Structure 1
Amino acid sequence: MSRLRLLYSLGTVFCLLNSLIVFGKGGEGKNILDVSVSKLKDLRCEYLDSPLGIDVRQPHLSWKMEIPTTVRGKKQTAYEILVASSAELLRQNKGDLWNSGCVVSDESVNIVYKGKSLKANQKCFWKVRICDEQGNWSAWSSPGFWRMGLFPDNWSGQWIGCELMERQSVGGQKIDNKMSDPWFRKTFDLPEEVRDAIIYIASIGYHELYVNGQKVGDAVLSPSVTDHKSRARYMAYDITQYLNSGENVIALWLGVSWSIFPAYQRVGEPAIPMALVQTEMELLSGKKQRLISDETWKVHASPNTLIGYWEAHHFGGEFYDASLEKPGWNTTRFDDTDWLEAKVYEPKIVVSADKTEPNRLVKEIKPLSVSEISPGTYRVDMGINYAGWFEMRLDGQPGDSVMFQFSERESDTVSFGIHSIYKIGPTGEGKFCNRFNYMTGRWVQVSGLRSKPELKDIRGWLIRPDYQRTGGFECDIPLLNDIYNTTLWTFENLSLGNYVVDCPHRERCGYGGDALATTRAALGNYDLGAFYYKWMEDWRDVQVEDGNVPYTAPTRIGGGGPSWSGYCITLPWEMYRQYGDERALSESFSMIKKWLDFVETHSRDDMLVRWGGKWSFLGDWLWPSAWPERKAMEKQGKALGDTRETLFFNNCHWIYSLETAASIADILGDADTAESYRKRASLVRKAVHATFFNAADNSYVNGYPAYLAMAIMVNLPPQDLKDKVWKRLEQEILINRKGHFWGGITAGSFLFHTLLDSGRNDLIYEMATKEDFPSWGYMLKCGNGTFFEDWECRGSALHSSYLYVGSWFIEALGGIQRPKAGFKHFVIAPWITIKGPKRVKSHYNSMYGDIKSEWTLEGKTLSMRVVVPPNTTAVLKLPGVNCASIKESGRSWRHSEGIELVSQKDNIVSFLLQPGVYKFGAVVDRLIDE
């Protein structure tokens, strides 16, 4: 037994004895040793830092260990959590809500709260300490915090809206908006100052909150986009500092936006923006006061009006008429006697918390140039394609109208009709900025000006949920760095609203097929636990009674096929793989089973058969030759879902879905369901192979690389054919396609990840380093800082189509491989070859801490720095090295703490590494491509 393992075992025993002494006699958990060998940081509740409005009755808690870089082998053997109803009680080490006692466990991620039943609006202050592998207790962490929200039966407020807006909402038809975004306000008195005040606001459509004239918070375009046919989400705001004794006013500015989205319109209810408000206040005297939304609120039209229908190709923009401004509309001094009374509504929808990072102005975009197109018309180059807000200071004559047209391409005046208008008010000055809509593009054509604008008066903002970056990569090959960075920038511009859109201008739909291209790369580079947890709920919301799942969520509409709907399986599985969160599986398992039951009804002779309309049985989408092939199909009168290739793809995906669902059932302890899914997959597998295998050339259907990879992924070839199909795939990529990538959004994702998971980085490298059509390098040459919808670069220039390449850099070149469940135990296996990069820096900040893999190859000398975070272990695999030459921190690895040899085989030396920082050096004997 190694020294570290012995210490770990002894530490566990010591912790048990310690817990018996301290906790067995009713102690308060004081440190017996008071040895602060570890610090704890990054306390999270439901993946969030100090969240407000949590409506999970047993929230999940997480933390990280922080230790000096010189220390190795640090692990947690036990923890103690205190949750208190006040900061003072927590300071006194009194967990009146929960005192976990000493829990012997090395788990520090997604720990379930098991204290007293939590009430609505309950404040929860918490801290944690841990026992390490030597039996030493850490100091208590700095305090963490969360606040409970409202549960369905806690709402006493009423939904309010503007009755005048009903006139444009007739018969569930698409709405060409003519009504202004409404203002609401409510004045009220407080007899004394408040000690605590929180307001909960649910809205159909976007909202902004003002208290006594001040905007509350820095969130924009809130709440998250949600299927308003079934649900509205609420935001929680702490407004204690905004209130005064005496008269106060709470004001809302609602945006029409998603309230008129055609797929969200409810039978018998108007498609208009609405709000539900409840304010809970505690006065200094301890008295409670509540303010709710009802018919006593006042409503009036604002100067801002949505342009467009808020649907595909018609998201328009905003028209702001500064002549209609009413200064002080959200202050107590304003006279609202001529305002209308709000109308009360009763929409039949669920109200739940928006447990995500809100949208914020994340990055400022500064323009590069302004050029004159014609008198009064100017072209602004913002330097990069982005989705967010555009802001510009204006001068002119009262009544002048200035139009802003946004374009992705320099040759186009406007893309997908995205435009806004600002009408200058009586002062002759103004500032346009989006409020309840957003633009996409790089170029802005501005017309109606009387003078050329200056660069200092213009700026833009990337808007997205304020999630944090967790991954990083760079190497000595500039093209790869450009592809990596462009992938991430593209993703960030597709995530506004806490779901991933296909494109932010034309459709704004959350396509499941497109999500196949983005999810793994996104999870490997950003902190997206709350983001994807919310999106999983959206997919459950849109499932219909017969078990079918639409192709988009939360947006419901749009075309697709089984792999689009099947994202209802893929997403919870990917969440589990990344974070080890079984709850992601259990909460979605009912949906998964219902969808697979639905799919089964469309099978015959152990294979799926086509169902639905023209856009309902799609397979791969937008592969390199898709445009000419689709035109040829149209001439033959064929629908996109009628091809032999599509039938093959969808049946392979069915196998993938069944096998993934079986793995989920295993984890959830449902052995019978797992067995039934595997048996079904086996029957389908035999039928698909018999129907589509081409014995003459060891391929399937038309031999495209994506289809061959899918066959390998779902284990379609019998054992005696596997090597032959692999050789056929190699030939197809390297010879027939001359090293180019050949797949679309959906099948391309499976091609890429099959190669990645099979360790065929040599094939990925060939495709990733091409710069002619079709390739990521080609799109870089044609683009403006974002990737395109199609390989030809003729469609949308900001799209989710091929972002799967983003998972390769850290996982393969850095070698920080995706584990089976969370990063408690993981593998670092960098792809080091003669033809590949010679210098790589990569990291991934997991739920346990930052994992780093940095290496340099100079001639025959390999240098590598590895960081294994506390409370984890890693297997490091070094290719092509001479084991006897391996040194760590300048000495033989055999004399270094925390290292254990696992194996020497297949030209790879493998070590088990305990937590710590390691610096390896080795002589390279033979790399794979030598």
Structure 2
Amino acid sequence: MTKLRPIALRCEHHAAPMGLNRPAPRFDWALEGGGHNRCQSAFRLVVGAGETVLWDSGKVRSSRTRQIEYAGDVLASDMQCAWTVMVWNEEDAASDWADAQHFRTGLMQPEDWQAQWIARYFVLPAGREAPADNTYDNRWQARPADHLRRDFATAERPVRATAYVSALGLYELYLNGERVDDAVMAPGWTDYHQRVEYQSYDVTDMVVAGANTIGALVGEGWYSGRVGHNQRRAGNHYGGRPALLCQLHLEYADGRIETIVSDKQWTTSQGPVCYSDFLMGEQYDARLEMPGWTEPGFDASRWQPVEVFAPDPRPPHLEASRAPQVRETVRFEGRYLRQAKTGGHIYDFGQNIAGYVALELSGKAGDRFTLRHGEVLDGEGELYVANLRHAVATDHYIAKGEGREHFKPRFTFHGFRYAELTLPDGSSPDDVTLTGIAIHNDLPRTASMRTGLDMVNQLLSNIEWSQRDNFISVPTDCPQRDERYGWSADAQVFWKTAGYVMDVSAFLEKWFEDIAEAQLPDGAFTDVAPSKPLNPYRITAQPGAPGWGDAPVILAWQHWLRYGDRALVEKHYDRLVAWLKHIADANPDHLRINAVYNNYGDWLSVGPASDRTMVATAYWVLVADLMAKLSGVAGRADMVAHYKAQAKAVRAAFIAAFVDDDGRITGDTQTAYLLALDFAILPADLHRKAAAHLLRKLDEAEGHLQTGFLGVKHLCPVLSDIGSPQRAYDLLLNETYPSWGFSIAQGATTIWERWDGWTRENGFQSANMNSFNHYAYGAVGEWLYARVAGIDWDEDAPGFSSIRMRPLFDKRLGWIEAHYDAPTGRIESAWRIAGEIVTWDIRIPPNCAARIELPRAPLSIHAGEAALPLTGATTTLGSGRYTLTIPI
């Protein structure tokens, strides 16, 4: 039997975290190894710093591979550590040591920080003009980016150098003329009045003996720039100007540590970034460039001193960044289409993305190149921008006239597939090259799926790209218009899908901090997080609607099932309790009539509207059920019975108020039956009757869906569970309006916000709310991975130590190939239909088992060359590769 091999080592959900927020970090790994029924019987984990062993677990008899908590010497701040693990297999044979991974502890205590917040004195920039296309009139206030620098000298080259950096706003850090890191939109969006994340960078190879210069470019970003759609106060939500915090640790061979910090010794100026704003765009005047400003020897005699200040109302708490940073990920060549009626030139990048356009051009000094961005073209082939609302989404580049020039924005991004380039007189499209650059949090890709149908493959791509485009610091609703909020219902309906496409463990940990900080004193979670920009004139944030405020409970439960991470549940458990109390106190009769502030119902549904109180009460059943389960996870046995009793009472109230003896539910909508069925609200007899009503509603809609944001994720799973998987496939493969296939038939490369974002009969939906890049309706992705591919979590064994495999076969799809890199290792599933036989190949990682549930008993099961005994349509298989043949 071959040895097992530990792979995919993770510390705090990262391969190599740069900064910790826990004094005792957690370690995870997966396993590889040939053969069948492989398992780990023991492990040994070692953590060290240099030549010093900080913790040696010794041989621990355990099959655990996740959330192993550090139990060694106390970790100090500013430490570089390494760790590795070895395992023993089922025959007690030891593996080799895994390749060591590293982590840095960061600055874990407030007193570790010596740096001060610094910023440019607040003065209106002289000689700056508002852009010609300004739609804000006298409200225009986008600021130039600030350059900050400091020279310092070292007697010798340090053996280790680490930069700890953050900003109120956005920053780029430079050292001796080089960018320190390729992250963009750093440090990310938080409630800056409460918490700011910092990043840690290893800059050892960038510091030299002698003269050095550290510099930073700082922009407004979410801190003082425009965020959201409240145009009376679109910016300055947290403060009026960006600021920098920087601390550079230099460690020398003799152990001495020197610290360079942001303080009064820095100077500041403004340069070519005339303004850069998320909604306005960026204007860059290359004639104002200052060559060498981040290098020693630069003449900064005309730069002004910085101001050292304390952010109002109090300095935010500093924490290490939890999620991978936003980075440039994919590039798309711009394809020239035509000259627009405006005189500009329209380019197609082939994919709707969030990001910006890089220009390569030649021009005379003072030539202006203008880029407008849009998701779609109108009926005449012109750039459609009405749906951007107040987002100007326009970048300007003013040439310096020195050969071939390059430009890409620093502190803005747009949602677009198309761009319109307006050229200066004398220039032609032949003189310019356009490249679209997609940005998002650079989360590890964890799954892939291909099928025998191009339409379904495009749907999978659209789901992935909507996720990419909206995972920018927080999970936003859309990346293009004047909104871009972290709407919680959009996220919760999509989160199971999101977890297949990418590793969202660290991303959710970060966003859960935003959610927690936004929670109101009465226990109400908010509709969005961070919450401040949504309604800046309210004394408190906007309390969450049913399905929206419920999201943290749902997200915590799904995080537990996917990653087996108890810590997030334990940390936020009391906040979840406060939310359920908030609901119960407002609704003593167990009908969720009082939603305090708002109730969106099944948002943006088509067809008959669902009763909002019914939807709200159904969600109360769900979250009460989940809280009973989460109470068990958190070790709060005293609360399990409480929430079971609450769920029972709300179920009874729901049935009494909304369900008749025939199983018909108030409103008689698809969503009404979907929620009642999927949330297990009804007793068996009413469950059967409600299922029949759901099929009737589909028939009445001529086989089309009629759901909104809350109903959509339940469609295909419920139809599969009630014994109608063919109806689920009918919905998946439908290409007429309304359906997923309809938007694809119109050329969509992302998921639309509305089923009727555009139709032949009515053209574009209202420009007031019509995004072509919203992931909520992409929630069908969970059914594709969990039921079509058959790779699903098992509630009885969280973290994919057990895999529930219930594939649904359909001749119309022909074949599928899928894999998912679970926390426990790679799971594979591929099936192909030939005649009346399905051949299904699966791979189960070591230390795992699979619960196989098939529509009918297989004809054969092979583990390599060996045939296994048949046990019916349901069986359990250990790790390894298997081939099953199944009759259609």
- Distance (Å, rounded) in 2 between the aligned partners of 1:142 and 1:389: 38
Change (3 A) 1:194 1:886: closer
271, 274, 294: which is aligned to 2:240?
271
CA apart distance, 1:888: 4.5
- Distance (Å, rounded) in 1 between the aligned partners of 2:250 and 2:399: 40
Residue 360 of structure 2 contacts residue 432 of structure 2 at CA under 8 Å; is this kept in 1?
A: no
Is the partner of 1:318 in helix, strand or coil? Answer: strand
- Distance (Å, rounded) in 2 between the aligned partners of 1:135 and 1:720: 52
Could you tell me which runs of 5 or more consecutive residues in structure 1 were left unpaired when the two chains were aligned: 1-34, 90-94, 169-173, 630-643, 895-900
Is the partner of 1:84 in helix, strand or coil? Answer: strand
160, 164, 167: which is aligned to 1:203?
167
194, 198, 214: which is aligned to 1:230?
194
Q: Does 1:848 align with 2:805?
A: no
CA apart distance, 1:498: 4.4
CA apart distance, 1:59: 0.9
Q: Does 1:700 align with 2:665?
A: yes
CA apart distance, 1:263: 8.1
- Distance (Å, rounded) in 2 between the aligned partners of 1:261 and 1:546: 30
**Deviations, residues 285-333 of structure 1 (Å, cap 9, x unaligned):** 332101111122111113113355x5xxxx1210111121111111111
CA apart distance, 1:672: 2.0
CA apart distance, 1:66: 2.2
Write the mapping of 1:464-475 to structure 2, written as runs, cut at 5 A: 464-475=440-451
Change (3 A) 1:919 1:255: same
The answer for the alignment partner of 1:358 in structure 2 is: 325
Q: Does 1:728 align with 2:693?
A: yes
- Distance (Å, rounded) in 2 between the aligned partners of 1:693 and 1:184: 65
**Deviations, residues 2-54 of structure 1 (Å, cap 9, x unaligned):** xxxxxxxxxxxxxxxxxxxxxxxxxxxxxxxxx98222222111111112112
- Distance (Å, rounded) in 2 between the aligned partners of 1:375 and 1:536: 45
106, 118, 124: which is aligned to 1:160?
118
Q: Which moved more, 1:581-590 or 1:758-767?
A: 758-767
Write the mapping of 1:678-689 to structure 2, written as runs, cut at 5 A: 678-689=644-655
- Distance (Å, rounded) in 2 between the aligned partners of 1:418 and 1:112: 46
Change (3 A) 1:307 1:197: closer
550, 566, 569: which is aligned to 1:566?
550
80, 83, 102: which is aligned to 2:59?
102
- Distance (Å, rounded) in 2 between the aligned partners of 1:290 and 1:146: 21
- Distance (Å, rounded) in 1 between the aligned partners of 2:39 and 2:867: 25
CA apart distance, 1:207: 0.8
The answer for the alignment partner of 2:559 in structure 1 is: 575
Percentage identity across aligned positions? 26
Change (3 A) 1:72 1:286: same
Residue 25 of structure 2 contacts residue 70 of structure 2 at CA under 8 Å; is this kept in 1?
A: yes
- Distance (Å, rounded) in 2 between the aligned partners of 1:728 and 1:192: 79
Change (3 A) 1:783 1:582: same
- Distance (Å, rounded) in 2 between the aligned partners of 1:810 and 1:556: 36
Is the partner of 2:340 in helix, strand or coil? Answer: strand
Is the partner of 1:532 in helix, strand or coil? Answer: helix
- Distance (Å, rounded) in 2 between the aligned partners of 1:756 and 1:293: 59
Write the mapping of 1:670-685 to structure 2, written as runs, cut at 5 A: 670-685=636-651
The answer for the alignment partner of 1:377 in structure 2 is: 344
Write the mapping of 1:285-684 to structure 2, written as runs, cut at 5 A: 285-306=254-275, 315-347=279-311, 348=314, 349-373=316-340, 377-411=344-378, 412-413=382-383, 415=385, 416=388, 417-427=392-402, 430-449=405-424, 450-454=426-430, 457-558=433-534, 561-613=545-597, 616-625=598-607, 645-684=611-650
**Deviations, residues 142-171 of structure 1 (Å, cap 9, x unaligned):** 111101011223111111111125899xxx
CA apart distance, 1:663: 0.8
The answer for the alignment partner of 1:50 in structure 2 is: 16
**Deviations, residues 78-106 of structure 1 (Å, cap 9, x unaligned):** 111111111xx3xxxxx621010111110
Change (3 A) 1:881 1:478: farther
What is the count of residue pairs matched by the alignment?
839
CA apart distance, 1:876: 2.4
Change (3 A) 1:350 1:646: same
Is the partner of 1:420 in helix, strand or coil? Answer: strand
Q: Does 1:797 align with 2:779?
A: no
Change (3 A) 1:506 1:517: farther
100, 106, 129: which is aligned to 1:143?
100
Is the partner of 1:493 in helix, strand or coil? Answer: helix
CA apart distance, 1:275: 1.5
Residue 462 of structure 2 contacts residue 748 of structure 2 at CA under 8 Å; is this kept in 1?
A: no
Change (3 A) 1:147 1:888: closer
240, 249, 264: which is aligned to 2:213?
249
Q: Match of 1:823, as an amino acid? A: F
- Distance (Å, rounded) in 1 between the aligned partners of 2:342 and 2:222: 37
Residue 166 of structure 1 contacts residue 271 of structure 1 at CA under 8 Å; is this kept in 2?
A: no
Could you tell me which runs of 5 or more consecutive residues in structure 2 were left unpaired when the two chains were aligned: 127-137, 535-541, 758-764
CA apart distance, 1:403: 1.4
CA apart distance, 1:136: 0.9
**Deviations, residues 111-141 of structure 1 (Å, cap 9, x unaligned):** 1111111110111111111111101111111
Q: Match of 2:799, as an amino acid? A: G
- Distance (Å, rounded) in 1 between the aligned partners of 2:876 and 2:618: 37
TM-score, length basis structure 1: 0.86
Change (3 A) 1:433 1:737: same
The answer for the alignment partner of 1:11 in structure 2 is: none
The answer for the alignment partner of 2:140 in structure 1 is: 176
Q: Does 1:715 align with 2:680?
A: yes
Q: Which moved more, 1:722-731 or 1:269-278?
A: 269-278
- Distance (Å, rounded) in 2 between the aligned partners of 1:271 and 1:331: 29
CA apart distance, 1:849: 1.1
Q: Match of 1:445, as an amino acid? A: E
Change (3 A) 1:875 1:693: closer
- Distance (Å, rounded) in 1 between the aligned partners of 2:717 and 2:198: 37
- Distance (Å, rounded) in 1 between the aligned partners of 2:712 and 2:867: 44
Q: Match of 1:359, as an amino acid? A: V
Residue 466 of structure 2 contacts residue 751 of structure 2 at CA under 8 Å; is this kept in 1?
A: yes
Residue 549 of structure 1 contacts residue 565 of structure 1 at CA under 8 Å; is this kept in 2?
A: yes
TM-score, length basis structure 2: 0.90
Is the partner of 2:493 in helix, strand or coil? Answer: coil
Is the partner of 2:883 in helix, strand or coil? Answer: strand
Q: Match of 1:273, as an amino acid? A: P
CA apart distance, 1:555: 4.1
CA apart distance, 1:405: 0.6
**RMSD over aligned Cα, in angstroms?**
2.5
Q: Match of 2:210, as an amino acid? A: G
Is the partner of 1:163 in helix, strand or coil? Answer: coil
CA apart distance, 1:758: 5.7
- Distance (Å, rounded) in 1 between the aligned partners of 2:606 and 2:694: 17
- Distance (Å, rounded) in 1 between the aligned partners of 2:689 and 2:31: 48
CA apart distance, 1:175: 7.0
Q: Match of 2:657, as an amino acid? A: T
Residue 126 of structure 1 contacts residue 144 of structure 1 at CA under 8 Å; is this kept in 2?
A: yes
Q: Match of 1:672, as an amino acid? A: D
CA apart distance, 1:862: 2.9
CA apart distance, 1:203: 1.1
CA apart distance, 1:774: 0.5
Residue 374 of structure 2 contacts residue 416 of structure 2 at CA under 8 Å; is this kept in 1?
A: yes
Is the partner of 2:611 in helix, strand or coil? Answer: helix
The answer for the alignment partner of 1:819 in structure 2 is: 794
Residue 476 of structure 1 contacts residue 839 of structure 1 at CA under 8 Å; is this kept in 2?
A: yes
Is the partner of 2:149 in helix, strand or coil? Answer: strand
- Distance (Å, rounded) in 1 between the aligned partners of 2:125 and 2:590: 53
Change (3 A) 1:203 1:699: same
- Distance (Å, rounded) in 2 between the aligned partners of 1:394 and 1:244: 35
- Distance (Å, rounded) in 2 between the aligned partners of 1:414 and 1:830: 42
The answer for the alignment partner of 1:858 in structure 2 is: 834
- Distance (Å, rounded) in 1 between the aligned partners of 2:413 and 2:725: 39
CA apart distance, 1:397: 2.4
CA apart distance, 1:919: 2.6
Is the partner of 1:726 in helix, strand or coil? Answer: helix
- Distance (Å, rounded) in 2 between the aligned partners of 1:689 and 1:536: 33
